[in-house]
Chains A and B, each alone.
Chain A
Amino acid sequence: MKEEKQLVKQCKKHSHKAFDRLYDAYSPVLFGICLRYARDASSAEDILQEAFLTIFNKIEGYRFEGSFEGWLKRITVNTAINYLRKQNRYSFSSLDDGYHEYSAAEADNIVSGMSEQEILQHIQTLPDGYRTVFNLFVIEGYKHVEIAKMLNITESTSRTQFAKARKALQNKLMQNK
């Protein structure tokens, strides 16, 4: 904890060594987030780079309140959202609802038998809108109200998009079984 504080302080002084250490320490976690939001690895890399630039520029304003990792994640998620927004990839239009309904129990079994990478691949194939809401809600743990604010959509859109995203993901997972 103390080391983390020291690292942040050095980063505030724009020490390039400290930036390197910060990158080494947190890039795997943040890259994991980027991959979830991005459609593919190269977009994820773009997001990660942009997120780190933001982190480096904003770190002077970091006030040691709350968890540092949480702060980094929040910036990364925001960067990812902005990235997707810039790509004009938000299309919250509804997808075809013709998915096969699987029972929850079936889906549970499938998920527990799959690796992170496999799940990630399926998440990445979700449409951008679905994927973003799904990530924000399930993995980041934001509430629909918050997601609505962040994505400039209504709360009900967030809810429906999420439900559809979940269904779509379940379908994908089952099909790939």
Chain B
Amino acid sequence: MKQFDKHIQDKMHGMEVTPPPKLKANLQQHYPKQSFLQTINPFVGGIAIVAAISLLVFLALQITNNTNPAYSPKPLNTEAYQTTDNAPIINPNTTNKANSTQLEESPVIADNAEEKQTGCKSTYCTYQSQIEIPIDIKKYKLLFIDDGLTIHTNKQNTKLEADTPGDYLLILASKSGNRLDTMMISFVAQPEMPDLKDTLVCGLEFSINLVAHPGDFRLPDGLSIKKSGTDLSIMAEQYSKYELVYSQTDEIGTFTIGFIVEFIPANMPEVEIVKAPRCYLDNAVIQLDIEQNQKIDVSLSNGSVERIENHAYRLNFDYENSDPIYCYITHYQKDCELHDTLLFELPEKPDYNMVINQPTCNQEASLRIESANSNRLNAFLNQEKIELQKIIPLNPGDYQLQIVDKNACIITEQFSIGEQNDLQADFEFQTALDGMSVRMTNKTKGIDEFNNDVQYQWYVNGELVSTLKAPTLDLTQISNTIRLHVTKAYCEDEMIVSDIQPDKALIRCANFFTPNGDGQFDEFKVLVDPSLTGFQGKIFSRAGQLIYEWSDVNDTWNGKFAGNQDAAEGVYFYAIQAVDTTGQVIEKRGTIQLIRD
């Protein structure tokens, strides 16, 4: 390229000039209409669509009959072709005399007046990569050809070939160059074809799940086809290879798929049921009549399969499920899978219910066999016949119950009867630090650690004071009686220990108390031997002031003074006096710690 050209190219290439605005406004009036279905509100429903489609069809007919022939998607016919001498009539319309002038004036490129469902947007449509057009292209000038479209010509015909499916444009002009026309050729992608592959069939019949008519298949001799439900069944007369052709035709063209079906003989092995399940909980044994090295799978719909030897299998059914049980046998023979199914109806469990009562404190152990149809069953306990519905007392020990039904099926159940309950209340105790209470240790036998049904009741001198398992109990007298009462289910037992003395002294008291109302050591109490008389108790503050005084041995000091005032925390002095049987005054002095919290 010369320098001058280069300069011009640099200057002008990519030059942008904004067109006048009126051009856009004008163009907008000519925008292609929006696709019909896209503009319909889906809620308007089918009526609108039907009406719209009818209108569209009507309009299409109008276009075909009366309007611009370049838009009429009519197939080219030879007659029309011959009437025009020097113009390549691509979309001829024999009824329209103005044909050539129309073509002269309008180099129409797109002719999608109506869009077919097939994706065919032009008169020339094909599923192939090539299409033959009845025009001798050598007579005309080729003005424009879309990329990807190739023209092949020979003496007889002109063929157009496309690289990929799509719409391709071709512009031709007459030799004189003053007439031209365009043609659009649609190379449509092949429609989806059923997945028909070469198949190996075991047996003489196979079916295809395909919505098709038997006539869509071209069958070789020896094969027949029939429709059965939604499937097509193809049957062979003998074991052999057959080649089938399936074809599908629509307005654009015909598609064919060839596939080979080979029918081979296949025999399911004989199955012998060696042992059928006769009684409840029985298993079954089956034997398959096949050669040693052949592959086979055996499975149960509910249960497990155990291979015994060769091709014998033990089937262990799950009797919890009362449904019929299927045994699936799959035999692999060459490339075929052969299936067989055996159905096992399992025997029902004999109708009985075993009620066992384990021994309790006030009841012996017993057994009762309940049954709605007792006349059909026999029961044996440790091989001795027993009557049904009756309560049979049992001693502790191991038992074997056998139920024999009308089919002489025996069900064996094992159970044990435990020893009679051996609940035994027992406790030990220890004098607590304050000398006025005892800590109990519960030694009751016949209960396990987590047995929550057990109840304990502790009585001190006949009064219920605690229900804990191992409480600390206040002693209220010089000599006390403690009773433990234990209840477990229907059993109870008790233990009594008498003459529990906090101390051997005639006058005894604690060295602290906590008057906080919690029920524990709330009062300062003095225990005095019943032989003593003339009791007198006094409490002094540390300053020596008398703050409380009492003379009834059963009274106590509750930590208050001067009517209802709380004595402060701290140490107080006590002085207790009494007279013994000999008339001698016995005195006890000491300190008492008053604790508040």
Using a CB–CB cutoff of 8 Å, the interface residues on chain A facing chain B are 13-16, 19-20, 23-24, 27-29, 31-32, 35-36, 44-45, 48-49, 52-54, 56-58, 60-61, 63, 65-66, 78, 81-82, 85-86, 88, 90, 104, 107-108, 111-112, 114, 116, 119-120, 123, 137-139, 141, 149-153, 166, 169-170
* Residues of chain B at interface, number, CB under 8 A: 53
Chain B residues positioned under 8 Å from A48 (CB to CB): 19, 23
Chain A residues positioned under 8 Å from B393 (CB to CB): none
Decide: A139 near B20, CB < 8 A? Known: A56-B31, A90-B177: no
B141 x A152 contact (CB < 8 A)? yes
Q: Among B28, B109, B142, B180, which residue has the most Cβ atoms of chain A within 10 A?
A: B109
B102 to chain A minimum Cβ distance, whole angstroms, is: 13
Chain A residues positioned under 8 Å from B14 (CB to CB): 29, 32
Using a CB–CB cutoff of 8 Å, the interface residues on chain B facing chain A are 1-5, 7-9, 11-20, 23-24, 26-28, 30-35, 38, 105, 107, 109-110, 112, 121, 141-144, 147-148, 164, 166-169, 171, 173, 177-178, 180, 184
Of the residues B16, B34, B110, contact of A14 by C-beta under 8 Å: B34
Q: List 22 A-B contacts (CB under 8 A).
A: A14-B35, A14-B38, A23-B24, A28-B17, A32-B14, A32-B17, A45-B23, A49-B26, A54-B109, A58-B109, A58-B167, A78-B171, A85-B107, A85-B177, A107-B4, A119-B8, A123-B12, A149-B141, A149-B142, A152-B173, A169-B8, A170-B4
6 closest Cβ pairs, A-B complex:
A57-B110, A61-B167, A28-B16, A32-B15, A111-B7, A152-B141
CA distance A112 to B3 in the complex (A): 11
A60 x B26 contact (CB < 8 A)? no
Chain B residues positioned under 8 Å from A90 (CB to CB): 177
A14 x B20 contact (CB < 8 A)? no
**In this complex, what residue of A is CB-closest to B110?**
A57
**In this complex, what residue of A is CB-closest to B168?**
A61
A111 x B180 contact (CB < 8 A)? no
CA distance A112 to B171 in the complex (A): 38
Of the residues A27, A32, A56, contact of B24 by C-beta under 8 Å: A27
Decide: A31 near B17, CB < 8 A? Known: A14-B34, A78-B144: yes
Decide: A138 near B28, CB < 8 A? Known: A32-B16, A150-B143: no
B180 x A85 contact (CB < 8 A)? yes
B3 x A149 contact (CB < 8 A)? no
B11 x A116 contact (CB < 8 A)? yes
A65 x B147 contact (CB < 8 A)? yes
**In this complex, what residue of A is CB-closest to B175?**
A152
A14 x B8 contact (CB < 8 A)? no
B325 to chain A minimum Cβ distance, whole angstroms, is: 58
**In this complex, what residue of A is CB-closest to B176?**
A152
Q: Among B12, B17, B143, B166, which residue has the most Cβ atoms of chain A within 10 A?
A: B17
Decide: A149 near B143, CB < 8 A? Known: A45-B23, A116-B12, A120-B12: yes
A85 to chain B minimum Cβ distance, whole angstroms, is: 7
**In this complex, what residue of B is CB-closest to A137?**
B5
CA distance A20 to B21 in the complex (A): 12
